[in-house]
Structure 1
Amino acid sequence: MPKLPVLRAVVKETLRWRQPTPLGVPHILEEDDVYEGYFMPKGAMIHANHYLISREPNQFPEADEWRPERWLDPSWPTYKEPLSEFPTVRGDPGFGYGVRACPGIDLVATELYTTIGSIAWGFNIKRKEGKAGYENPVPWYQTNPYVITMASQFPADVTPRSSEKARIIRQLTEDPSLTVRAVGEKSEGQFGRPEEGSGKTFDWEGLTALAPDHDKGPRMYPAGV
């Protein structure tokens, strides 16, 4: 990944902008402690508020804006060199701190870069146009109500970037029972899946529908929370 700093910046900025674990993983104090004048008794539950940490104004100007260039442009306080190494997801608060930091961070980084890079290589993804887009705006501040958050489902147009890339994707599909449908072909079932026992279907237009339905009880994150 040394030659893909833009991809790494997109991943890192997305993790900063919309944290998968905005309140972190709770920890219990094993003994009394004092931090910047605050007394914290033994047994207290402590959360690292990743949402606010990632919006510290001196380190992250325009914190509510998705700006991958903050990791690539020397004019931003978060810029680091060399770009063959930085930005990196190492140090992201979502992976924890110190000896209790996630031991799988390198595996996660590889999976994120590979998955997102492959999707960007193979597909055009955009908001639906016309009436469908107007009636279904992107829910920037809505997530599911769980500890690990996920954006609320929204309709999008997902299409192969070219017929050649569609061919390669079909060719490299490991599951021989997977049927790749072209754009415009009718899907079977809610998510482009046929009835049980008739094989599996992968639908270009059904990608965003594969996420769980979180329309019930979305959680709102207004700026400054």
Structure 2
Amino acid sequence: MKRLRRRLPPGPSSLPILGNIHQFPITDQEYTLAQWGKHYGNVVYARIINKPVIILNCVQTARDLLEKHGARYSGRPHTTFIIDIVQWSQIVNMQYSDRWRRHRRWFQTAFQSRSTLNAYESLQHMEVQKLLRDLLCKPEEFAMHIKRYVAALMLGIAYGYSPSSMDDEYIQTVSHAMQFVVEAGGPGFMLVDFIPALKCLPTWFPGMGFKRRGLHARGIIRNMESIPLERVKHEMAAGAARPSIAAALLEEAANSGTLNEAEEAEIASAMGIMYGAQAKTTTVLTTFILLMVLHPDILEKAQMEVDKEVGDSRLPDINDRPALPYLEAVLKETYRWLVPVPLGVPHALTAEDEYNGFAMPEGSIIFTNLWAMSRDEEYYVKPDTFDPERFIGLSGDQAEDKNPQKFVFGFGRRICPGRFLAESSIFLAAANIVAAFNIRPARTIDGKEVPPEPLFVTGIVKHPKPFPCDIRPRSTKIADLVMNVVQAAGEA
């Protein structure tokens, strides 16, 4: 193995001690890493301080390593900012361990069986109807309505709680937590993650803004984990708890005699995965609106498909999904055009490996450059162009190879356990928005349309910056249908 250790994957030249840290930009690292991939190949080696870093820019390479050699590549690097300063430990950043397996088992039960997914459909339909109502009443606040829709789904599934509006205290807690998730620096790129001693410096010291943000976020995260769970406990004690993941886990622990303060803290921590998933789902739906504003011809084609298959006497539901292949293609292209987490969540190599003759050092931080994968010209012609037609008429193997949903949710044992729920929630919202609304650029005083410029907030999650648009019901009939459906649901 000594010979293999010397033959590391190719990469940019590094400086003594510092390694390549000076070559990593503060934001939008995916673009630089993609350029390295074009120059050095699909596997790139770099070093940040004393940490080896391996960048994977190709889907097949990521599958070869993270899926076929999953036992070695399923660790997580220790992120000092998130774990030590913010003190947020949940399944996404948890080490590959018995604790991780336990959390994973909880969420596989909650998110991956057909029976549990079917059980969530009534909640999904109820919340999408509220989304349509909100868009009818205050279309200019569409971004806020999307946040409420996704947060309400999360709160309902996780805690059995149904918020009434964005002013709800739980929605506000979730919104603050999600803002942190969206804007926080990406794991592995905070300098403190590579120089942990920086966490010991006082907050007033120059350059310690990250520590001040982290300590502020700590309080947000604690409220996020504890307040909704306390509500569930009180409801269970009163015999009034609705079905939820938290209630099921608390009941399971109580029945087995293991319910204590430590177990409650473990359940509260487990719920943290829902907040990260919420941020990504919100990003996809907001991006969908942006793309429909920029591509009215694509929206019109999707509307024609929905009109043909669903008609105008009802709203789309989950069962319509197989009959709407063009809308499905639009959503696939939305996932691809703006990957919500451009660099994924880093993996850690827990034992030395070898790939194509290159040594892969133990302890390496593994970055999957999902953005580079989404722009791979071997699979996507003119990759910067938004073109749903690229997914139409593909054979089985082609459809599988090109489907961005096969990589945007991660790889191997660390793939997102809630991906099927996220996909169905996104589809349902998009289908109903397409059925009910026309979406156009905002207009100037003299009536001229002004298409928005696509600009993004960068962090762990990449999210569109606020943009104006004009959302209006397609007809009086569809507006009446929406209000009648919402009213009927409220009376049920």
In the superposition, the TM-score normalised over structure 1's length comes to 0.65
Q: What secondary structure does 1:20 align onto?
A: coil
Closer/same/farther in 2, CA of residues 46 and 171 from structure 1, 3 Å limit: same
Instruction: Indicate yes or no: 2:470 matched with 1:157.
Output: yes
Residue pair 2:335, 2:405 contacting (<8 A) in 1 also: no
Determine which structure has greater relative contact order: mean sequence separation of CA pairs < 8 Å that are 6+ residues apart, divided by chain length: 2
Instruction: Measure, in 1, the Cα distance between the counterparts of 2:446 and 2:369.
Output: 36
In the TM superposition, what whole-angstrom CA distance separates every residue of 1:22-53 from its partner, at most 9, and x where no partner exists? 11111111112233454332222111101101
Pairwise CA distance, 1:69:
0.2
Choose 32-41 or 161-170, whichever is displaced more.
Answer: 32-41
Q: Please tell me whether the aligned partners of residues 127 and 133 of structure 1 are also in contact (alpha carbons under 8 angstroms).
A: no
Q: What corresponds to 1:60 in structure 2?
A: 380
For 1:124, the equivalent position in structure 2 comes to 438
The 10-residue stretch of structure 1 (163-172 or 36-45) with the greater mean CA deviation from structure 2: 36-45
Could you report, residue by residue, the CA deviation over 1:120-178 in whole angstroms, capped at 9, with x for unpaired residues? 111111112346997964232x21122111111111000111111111222233796xx
Give the whole-Å Cα distance in 2 for the aligned partners of 1:10 and 1:71.
9
Give me the CA root mean square deviation.
2.9
- Contiguous gaps of at least 5 residues in structure 1: 74-78, 177-225
| TM-score, normalization by structure 2 | 0.31
Q: Secondary structure at the match of 1:47?
A: strand
Q: Is 2:353 the counterpart of 1:40?
A: no
Q: How does 1:8-157 map to 2 (within 5 A)?
A: 8-73=328-393, 79-81=394-396, 91-130=405-444, 137-140=451-454, 142-157=455-470
Greater helix share, 1 or 2? Answer: 2
Deviates most, 27-36 or 155-164: 27-36
Q: 1:56, 1:87 → 2: CA distance?
A: 12
Structure 2: runs of 5 or more not aligned: 1-320
The structure with the largest strand share of the pair is 1
Computing the radius of gyration from Cα coordinates, the structure with the larger value is 2
Give the secondary-structure state (helix, strand or coil) at the position aligned to 2:424: helix
Do the aligned partners of 2:374 and 2:383 also contact (CA within 8 Å) in 1? yes
**How far, CA to CA, are the matches of 2:415 and 2:401 in structure 1?**
18
Quote the offset at 1:90 in angstroms: 7.5
- Give the length in aligned residue pairs: 168
Pick closer, same or farther for the CA change 1:12–1:110 going to 2, 3 Å: same
The answer as to whether partners of 2:443 and 2:450 remain within 8 angstroms in 1 is no
Decide whether aligned partners of structure 1 residues 133 and 148 sit closer, same or farther in structure 2, where only a CA change above 3 A counts. Answer: farther
